[in-house]
């Protein structure tokens, strides 16, 4: 069970003439439970980070955690009855992600572990209320992941149909209503994040096999579509309340993957790679204060969690 296939990266490089306000700084954060594989997926404005360790291979299950400044102590995050958990986003007292009851690992690259989305709210009493998002997928094994949530309790994610095609959705926790996230001409859609203005981030594939990133209002308006020039794959994995997005891109299938930031206000995009990420960099989440999180692959082949300050 893994959120996204790790593709890869190189060193920091500005991709437009727009200069960053301050130089980005990179900090590695790895849970000692498995220093060979960590991914950081979300960060709040208070600096609370959601991540997990364990590759998902047999005997190395995904195990979710949170960690807050000064980033010295990890707190496990567990879904009852699960063998694996990924915590993908957090907003106030609400946490979302997905879990699996097995740890078979992939078979020739194909998933064998079913993934079920969850939305957990910590009530004022301290009790936990958990909603399971299990009834969307017709794929075998079932894949239904929750990847983002905003303060209005609109959660986003994707599920796989019986043919293995991904479909983006929004789930409103208050009403229990699902809304499809669609892009004209797309063969597959994944919704990855949603901000306070109900602006959705994600990516889609077209009928030529090219993957494009998008930002799309939940209702009304037209999507903003973005593709790094010449890239085969461009993906947004998160969007903050300023409308800024982060993700990754890959020029060709044999190329490494590069971290990406994008500002729709001026269409400025920047390649942002960890200096130690000789095997790849992916940026998964960001807050409103210029901080972002993700992961990179180092020279030893380990996947390391990454915090970026001054990402914007």
CA distance 203 to 109: 21
Pairing assessment for the beta strands 74-77 and 63-67 based on DSSP bridges: antiparallel
Tokens representing residue 26 in the block: 């990179």
CA distance 270 to 91: 26
Mean pLDDT, the chain, as a whole number?
92
pLDDT in tens, 240-275: 999 999 999 999 988 999 999 999 999 999 999 999
* pLDDT value of position 125: 85
Global pTM value: 0.92
* pLDDT value of position 102: 97
Q: Helix (H, G, I), strand (E, B), or coil: what is residue 45? A: coil
pLDDT in tens, 12-67: 333 443 445 689 999 999 999 999 999 999 999 999 999 999 999 999 999 999 99
CB count, 10 Å around CB of 34?
18
Domain residue limits, the chain:
32-238
Pairing assessment for the beta strands 303-309 and 292-297 based on DSSP bridges: antiparallel
* Cis ω for the linkage preceding 70 (within 30 of 0): yes
Alpha-carbon distances, residue 40 vs 48, 54, 66 (angstroms): 11, 12, 9
Judge whether 148 and 192 are in contact, CB under 8 Å: yes
Q: What is the DSSP string of 198-236?
A: -EEEEEEE-TTS-EEEEEEESSSS--EEE--TT-SEEEE
| CATH superfamily of the 32-238 domain | Prolyl oligopeptidase, N-terminal domain (2.130.10.120)
**Does pLDDT of 168 surpass 60?**
yes
* pLDDT value of position 220: 86
* pLDDT value of position 135: 84
DSSP 187: S
CA distance 40 to 88: 8
pLDDT in tens, 279-312: 999 999 999 999 999 999 999 999 999 999 999 9
DSSP 176: -
Alpha-carbon distances, residue 197 vs 22, 41, 111, 272 (angstroms): 27, 21, 34, 26
Residue 206 pLDDT level (bands cut at 50, 70, 90): very high
CA distance 117 to 237: 17
pLDDT in tens, 76-128: 999 989 999 999 999 999 999 999 999 999 999 899 999 999 999 988 888 88
Judge whether 188 and 169 are in contact, CB under 8 Å: no
Q: What is the mean pLDDT of residues 141-153?
A: 96
């Amino acid at each position: 069970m893994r959120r996204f296939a790790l593709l890869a990266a190189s060193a920091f490089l500005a991709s437009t003439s727009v200069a960053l306000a301050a130089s980005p700084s990179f900090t590695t954060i790895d849970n000692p439970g498995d220093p060979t594989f960590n991914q950081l997926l979300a960060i709040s404005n208070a600096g609370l980070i959601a991540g997990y360790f364990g590759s998902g291979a047999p005997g190395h299950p995904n195990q979710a955690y949170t960690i807050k400044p000064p980033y010295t102590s990890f707190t496990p995050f567990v879904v009852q009855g699960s063998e694996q958990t990924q915590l993908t986003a957090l907003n106030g007292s609400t946490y979302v992600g997905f879990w699996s009851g097995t740890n078979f690992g992939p078979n020739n690259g194909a998933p064998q572990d079913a993934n079920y989305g969850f939305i957990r709210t910590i009530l004022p009493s301290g009790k936990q209320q958990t909603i399971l998002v299990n009834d969307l997928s017709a794929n075998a094994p079932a894949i239904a992941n929750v990847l983002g949530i905003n303060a209005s309790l609109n959660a986003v994610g994707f599920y796989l149909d019986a043919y293995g095609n991904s479909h983006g959705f929004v789930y409103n926790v208050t009403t229990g209503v699902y809304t499809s996230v669609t892009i004209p001409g797309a063969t597959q859609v994944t919704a990855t994040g949603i901000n306070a203005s109900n602006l959705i981030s994600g990516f889609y594939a077209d009928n030529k096999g090219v993957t494009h990133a998008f930002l799309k209002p939940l209702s009304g308006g037209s999507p903003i579509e973005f593709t790094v020039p010449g890239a085969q794959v461009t993906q947004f994995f998160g969007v903050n309340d300023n409308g800024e997005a982060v993700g990754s891109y890959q020029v060709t299938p044999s190329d490494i993957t590069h971290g990406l930031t994008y500002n729709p206000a001026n269409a400025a995009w920047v390649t942002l790679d960890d200096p130690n990420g000789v095997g790849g960099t992916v940026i998964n989440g960001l807050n409103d204060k210029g901080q972002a999180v993700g992961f990179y692959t180092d020279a030893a082949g380990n996947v390391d969690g990454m915090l970026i300050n001054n990402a914007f």
